[in-house]
Structure 1
Amino acid sequence: MADALRFYTHPSSRGRIVRWMLEETGAPYQTTLLAFGPEMKAPSYRTINPMGKVPTIVHGDTVVTECAAICAYLATAFPAAGLAPVSTQAWGPYFRWLFFASGPLEQAVTNRSLGFEVPEDRQRMAGYGSFGDAMNALEGAVTGKRYLVEDRFSAADVYVGSQIGWGLQFGSIDKRPAFETYWNGLKDRPAAVRARDIDDALAQPPPRK
């Protein structure tokens, strides 16, 4: 697609996931940085993303928010990058793990980080059941695998890998060997390194004059 691609982000946000995905596609894009607080919550930006959060992409007339959705969209919009499954049999696990990570896993990690534990007799009310359930499911998904789907790198690895890498860095997920092995196989991809370098540079305070 020849439509212009604009990326709204902040270097200390989940936009880092989308930056990596954009670098994997190889598609040209323009970045608009938004500061947390009034700038991100401004009415002008809320017309694009009503949540007043980043990341968001605008591709021609198409607006996409939510990291997993953006990753899935970009994989479909730029098929030459080979970031979506090839066989129809692979679409199931591809979407399964993308949205497991964006739903049950993120809910479990966020609640644990906020000090909230679902009471055992109420776990059926939570989509993730318990933190341990979510960790065990994630471990089963990555154990013995270089990539999640078809033994080839995909958008699912960008998103799930980012969640694992972030969790290992900040201690918000269990430090299990399967997680470390999987993340170590992804984190030095050229696109991941480029994206990390870009956002790290943007996160640095401007030099004093």
Structure 2
Amino acid sequence: MSDELVFYTNPMSRGRIARWMLEEVGQPYRTEILDFGTSMKSADYLALNPMGKVPAIAHRGVVVTEGGAVCAYLADAFPQAGLAPPAGSPQRGLYYRWMFFAAGPVEAAVTNKALNIEIPDERKRMVGYGCYADVIDALDYAVSQNEFIAGDRFSAADVYFGSQVGWGLMFKTIEPRPALAAYWQRIAGRPAAIRAREIDDKLVAEAKQAQAPQ
């Protein structure tokens, strides 16, 4: 069983969230860049992730997919980074609550917002996130309770939840409320976040340069 940590991603994908988490953890990892529609759908990669999407990581014989799961796994696999509250603590409850909220209701609501899909009033009860307005109110509430999502310390939940907020503010799929903007400002300047952006932005620039007419 190899201890090598392998990261499957594309710099123009949700893999950027996992990259940030990997930089926060501070452990060595090898990156495999996959292309949409080609290597991401290859037989070799589909054997790892049948969805044919990124991010994914392979570590100690286990493949972990889904951005929130990758963040949670890495926090537990490398506890020395201090990116998860202690098991059984009240903060651990907040950590799980908002991590799963970002992966479920937030992801669904902002995707539908981007696609101009509105839930009819009579159907809100059958939709997990209810309605977009309720999700934004909950986001606003979450970032207004403490400095960070799980209390007074930054955690893996901030990487995942915060990335959803940051992207939503950038692409205007999340209402730019003052509390949300302030929360994003608190976490976006972390050294690991900056390193991750620089790595992926460089990869994007290199890909564009390679595709440019010579």
TM-score (normalizing by structure 1): 0.96
Q: Which segments of 5 or more consecutive residues in structure 2 lack a partner in the other structure?
A: none
Residue 191 of structure 2: aligned partner: 190
- Deviation of the 1:149 alpha carbon: 1.1
Residue 93 of structure 2: aligned partner: 92
- Deviation of the 1:144 alpha carbon: 5.0
2:106 and 2:16 map into 1 onto residues whose CA distance is: 18
1:3 and 1:43 map into 2 onto residues whose CA distance is: 24
Task: Please list, as runs of the form range in 1=range in 2, the aligned pairs for 1:61-76 lying within 5 A after superposition.
Answer: 61-76=61-76
Runs of 4+ in 1 over 3 A off after TM superposition: 206-209
Residue 121 of structure 1: aligned partner: 122
Task: Verify the 8 A CA contact 1:85 1:150 in the aligned structure 2.
Answer: no
2:146 and 2:44 map into 1 onto residues whose CA distance is: 44
Length, aligned pairs only: 209
Q: Deviations over 1:47-83 (max 9, x none)?
A: 0000000000000201000000000000000000000
Is residue 2:161 matched to residue 1:160?
yes
- Deviation of the 1:150 alpha carbon: 2.7
Task: Verify the 8 A CA contact 2:105 2:129 in the aligned structure 1.
Answer: yes
Q: Deviations over 1:154-184 (max 9, x none)?
A: 0000001100001111111101001100000
Give secondary structure in 2 for the equivalent of 1:52.
coil
Give secondary structure in 1 for the equivalent of 2:7.
strand
1:88 and 1:2 map into 2 onto residues whose CA distance is: 32
One-letter code aligned to 1:53: K
1:89 and 1:28 map into 2 onto residues whose CA distance is: 31
- Deviation of the 1:145 alpha carbon: 2.8
TM-score (normalizing by structure 2): 0.94
Residue 59 of structure 1: aligned partner: 59
Give secondary structure in 2 for the equivalent of 1:152.
coil
Residue 12 of structure 2: aligned partner: 12
- Deviation of the 1:106 alpha carbon: 0.6
Task: Verify the 8 A CA contact 2:168 2:174 in the aligned structure 1.
Answer: yes
Higher helix share: 2
Judging changes above 3 Å, is the alpha-carbon distance between structure 1 residues 199 and 55 closer, same or farther for their aligned structure 2 residues?
Answer: same
One-letter code aligned to 1:111: N
Task: Please list, as runs of the form range in 1=range in 2, the aligned pairs for 1:18-29 lying within 5 A after superposition.
Answer: 18-29=18-29
Q: Which segments of 5 or more consecutive residues in structure 1 lack a partner in the other structure?
A: none
Judging changes above 3 Å, is the alpha-carbon distance between structure 1 residues 46 and 2 closer, same or farther for their aligned structure 2 residues?
Answer: closer
Task: Verify the 8 A CA contact 1:85 1:91 in the aligned structure 2.
Answer: yes
Determine what percentage of the aligned residue pairs are the same residue: 56
Cα RMSD after superposing both structures: 1.4
One-letter code aligned to 1:98: M
1:193 and 1:153 map into 2 onto residues whose CA distance is: 15
- Deviation of the 1:90 alpha carbon: 1.5
1:169 and 1:146 map into 2 onto residues whose CA distance is: 21
Task: Verify the 8 A CA contact 1:144 1:178 in the aligned structure 2.
Answer: no
Is residue 2:39 matched to residue 1:31?
no
